[in-house]
Structures are given as C-alpha cells and as structure tokens.
C-alpha cells in the first residue's frame, strides 16, 4: 500500500508548497503596499521621498542619518516624548528645525515599521519619454504591479495548479481501478484531453471564446483611449518631468505671491500662456543670488549662466543661451485651445486646469486634459459677466429668449449652451 500512495503524496506536497509560497508572497506584497498607503496618508503631506524639503526634510538617505530603526520608530511614534526624554539626537533635530512634527500614537508599531520598510526600499521612479508629445520630458513610472505581468503570472500559476490536479486525479483513478481489478488508464496528454473536452462541449467552448474575445477587445479599447493622456487623478497618476533648473512655483507664486501673469505674460492676450525668457528671471535675480532651498544658490547660478551674467562684475559679459524647459501640459496638434478665451473672457483661474501651483515645487500635470474632461467642464461651467461683456452681448440675448420659460434658478448659461461642445470649436 505504501507504493500505491507514493504519487498522490507527492502531488499533495507540490500543491501545499505552491499554496504556501503564494500565501507568503501575498503577505509580503500586502505589507509593502500597506507601508506605501500609510506613508501617503500620513507622511507625504510634509515629506518628499527625494531631497527637497516640503514642510519637513526630504527622506532621501534618511536611514544613513538616524541612529537606527528602533530610534526612528520611537521618533515617528511620539517625537515630543523622545525630545523630553533628553535623547541627544532628538534634541539636536528639534533645535535645528523649529517646526513641530505630528505624533502618530494612533499607529501601531507594525504599521510604523511597514512605513520604515517602504522608505528603506524606495527607489526613484524610472523616467521614460512620452510618445507623441511636443515638448519632451519624462513620465514617472506608475507604482505597483504591471497588469499584464500580473495576468501572465496568474495564468502560469493556474496552469501549474491544473497540471498538478490532473496528476492527482489520474493517480487516484488508477488507485480506484486497481481496487476494482480494472486495468490502469493510460495517461493522456493535456492537449489531447483538451481537444476531447472541446469536441464534447462545443456550446460551452463557443460562449467562452466570445467572453475571451470581448474581454480582449474591451482591454484594447481602454488601453488605446489613454494614449497621449499622462495624468489622471482618478488613477492617482501624475506627469511630473524633471526640469533643467529646479524652479519652485511654491516659493515664487505661493510664498512670494508673484502673479502668474508676470512670468506667463501671454495668458490674457494669446492662445498660449508663454514660457518666460531668462530676462524675466533676471529682473529679480540680479539682486537675489542666494536660494532659499538647499541647493538653491547653485540653481540660480544656472540662470546666470543662461543669461550670460557675471554676478561678480555685475555685467553681461558671456554669451547667453536658452533654458531647455520641459513642457508639462501637452495638447494634441489637432486640438485648439486659447488661454485668452478661457482666462480673459471666461474668467477661469489657472488652478482649474493646472492645479494649485502655489503648493507645488516642480510643476506637474494633475488633470487628464482629455476630451471627456473638457466637455464635462463646459457642461458645468457658467460664463460669468455675460451681460457686461460686449463679446457675448448678442449671444446673451438669444439665450435669454431661448430659455425664458425655465425657472430663474435653472437659467444657467453654461459653455455648452453657447456651442462649447461643438466639434468645430476645438477641432479644425
């Protein structure tokens, strides 16, 4: 009997090993994802994963700066208690940076350890050049598992399981035949068995093929419709290319309250907002040679180099050269968009399309700028000041006549009511 049960035991051992391995890997994956999720919910507001300081310092190279993981766990858990305990390193940090860090006594030690693991294992996103853009740049690689890789892995895993279960079934069937005195069945290959099953289940096979083809077509449609769209808040995907000079919108537009139109002078009178020339930068930086952020002085020196300015002699004595800024917001060439029409006439704020740049260091695309997004905006946005705007005066009279029977609270003259979703308005 020992010989009879040898094969089934081997197959059950293989199944157990595969299930245990998949369970172990899934636990590690969940742990890593939890650390990232907790970090984004609690830490990303004040800390970047790079070297840039937001409210708190950047976390690049953090593990080399702190005494150890146990110390870091105590610091994150309750930094105030650690400082009051007289810990030397904690006291130094508190003296160096007056801004108080939030305590996270609501998080368990395991949750904090998962965050520390995420920080230790963090790798900079790999940059890739987007296809079909007009201004170069890079798209940050999305975090997480590639769906195609995950699908292939699942299929491979299922094939292995099916193979193991077929072997177990064959062994058990022969064991039963031996007890009944029936000759053992010959082993049939998986492909031959599959063909036999298909020939005897034609209707089921046809339905399965329809579902598979439909699924592939659907997946292809959703993949193709996202071509050229590099940001989507619904998918937590943002396009944030690096720039040749680390210009901070947060410092300029936020802390110093410099009006957007000062640098982007074409926004109210042109189709394009325009990229400021280096001379615009020099209007201020002739007298400001030191940066506020770490490395800021070196970045200002790049402006001097581009302008051909010698700060020691106070004169332009070197050849100037253009700054190769990387375009962040790209529309296809077949799309017409006018900043003047939206900002000057439509009274739209920059934040509508570009996000709150006053809180950004490096500019990033936060809205998809897709046709669906634009149409949805046109259906919701009212055009302000129509009665006092000569450009829309005659149109306003026509709309007032057209919708005069509607209740007053429903007379909203949104962009779509004045032809804002007609194909010819944006495509020509």
Mean pLDDT of the chain: 79
- Written as tens digits, the pLDDT of the chain (428 aa) is 444 444 444 444 445 454 544 544 444 444 545 777 787 767 766 777 776 665 677 787 778 888 888 888 888 888 888 888 888 887 777 766 656 677 787 788 888 888 888 888 887 765 444 443 334 444 444 445 566 678 788 888 888 888 888 788 878 888 888 888 888 777 677 777 788 888 899 999 999 999 999 999 998 888 888 777 888 777 777 889 999 999 999 999 999 899 999 999 999 989 999 999 999 999 999 888 888 778 889 999 999 999 999 998 989 999 999 999 999 998 888 999 999 989 988 889 999 999 999 999 899 999 999 899 999 999 998 877 666 666 677 777 777 777 778 777 666 778 888 888 999 989 97
> In angstroms, rounded to a whole number, what is the distance separating the alpha carbons of residues 295 and 325?
19
- Statement: the pTM of the whole predicted model exceeds 0.75: no
Boundaries of every domain in the chain: 6-126, 147-224, 383-428
Task: Just give the CATH number of 6-126.
Answer: 1.10.760.10
SS3 assignment for the chain: CCCCCHHHHHHHHHHHHHHHHHHHHHHHHHHHHHHHHHHHHHCCCCECCCCCECCCCCCCCHHHHCCCHHHHHHHHHHHHHHHHCCCHHHHHHHHHCCCCCCCCCCCCHHHHHHHHHHHHHCCCCCEECCCCCCCCCCEECCCCCCHHHHHHHHHHHHHHHHHHHHHHHHHHHHHHHHHHCCCCCCCCCHHHHHHHHHHHCHHHHHHHHHHHHHHHHHHHHHHHCCCCCCCEHHHCECECCCCCCCCCHHHHHHHCCCCHHHHCCCCCCCCCCCCCCHHHHHHHHCCCCCCCCCCHHHHHHHHHHHHCEECCCCEECCCCCCCCCCCCCCCCCCECCCHHHHHHHCCCCCHHHHCCHHHCCCCCECCCCCHHHHHHHHHHCECCCCCCCHHHHHHHHHHHHHCCCCCHHHCCCEHHHHCCCCHHHHEC
The pLDDT score that the predictor gives to residue 140 is: 45
């Amino acid at each position: 009997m020992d010989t009879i049960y040898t094969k089934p035991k081997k197959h059950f051992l293989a199944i157990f090993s595969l299930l245990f391995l998949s369970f172990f890997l899934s636990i590690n994956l969940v742990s890593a994802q939890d650390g990232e999720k907790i970090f984004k919910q609690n830490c990303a507001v004040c800390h970047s994963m790079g070297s840039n300081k937001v409210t708190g310092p950047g976390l690049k190279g953090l593990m080399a700066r702190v005494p150890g993981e146990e110390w870091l766990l105590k610091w994150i858990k309750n930094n105030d208690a650690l400082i009051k305990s007289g810990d030397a390193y904690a006291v130094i940090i508190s003296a160096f940076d007056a801004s108080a860090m939030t305590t996270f006594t609501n998080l368990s030690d395991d949750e904090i350890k998962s965050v520390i693991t995420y920080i230790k294992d963090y790798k900079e996103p790999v940059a890739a050049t987007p296809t079909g853009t007009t201004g170069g740049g890079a798209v940050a690689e999305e975090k997480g598992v590639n769906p195609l890789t995950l699908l292939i892995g699942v299929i491979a895993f299922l094939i292995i399981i099916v193979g193991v279960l077929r072997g177990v079934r064959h062994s058990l069937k022969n064991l039963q035949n031996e007890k009944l005195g029936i000759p053992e069945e010959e082993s049939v290959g998986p492909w031959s068995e599959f063909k036999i099953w298909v020939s005897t289940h034609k209707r089921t096979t046809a339905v399965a093929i329809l579902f598979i083809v439909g699924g592939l077509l659907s997946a292809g449609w959703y993949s193709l419709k996202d071509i050229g769209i590099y940001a989507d808040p619904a998918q937590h995907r943002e396009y944030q290319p690096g720039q040749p000079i680390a210009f901070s919108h947060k410092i300029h537009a936020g802390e110093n309250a410099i009006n957007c139109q000062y640098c982007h002078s074409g926004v109210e009178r042109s189709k394009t907002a325009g990229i400021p020339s280096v001379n615009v930068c020099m209007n201020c930086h002739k007298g400001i040679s030191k940066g506020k952020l770490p490395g800021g002085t070196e970045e200002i020196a790049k402006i001097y180099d581009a302008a051909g300015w010698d700060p020691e002699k106070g004169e332009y004595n070197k050849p100037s050269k253009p700054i190769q800024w990387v375009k962040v917001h790209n529309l296809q060439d077949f799309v017409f968009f006018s900043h003047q029409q939206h900002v000057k006439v439509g009274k739209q704020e920059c934040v509508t399309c570009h996000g709150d740049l006053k809180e950004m260091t490096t500019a990033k695309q936060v809205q998809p700028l897709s046709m669906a997004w634009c149409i949805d905006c046109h259906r919701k946005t009212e055009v302000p000041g129509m009665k006092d705007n000569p450009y829309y005066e005659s149109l306003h009279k026509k709309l007032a006549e057209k919708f005069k029977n509607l209740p007053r609270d429903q007379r909203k003259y949104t962009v779509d009511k004045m032809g804002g979703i007609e194909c010819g308005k944006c495509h020509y």
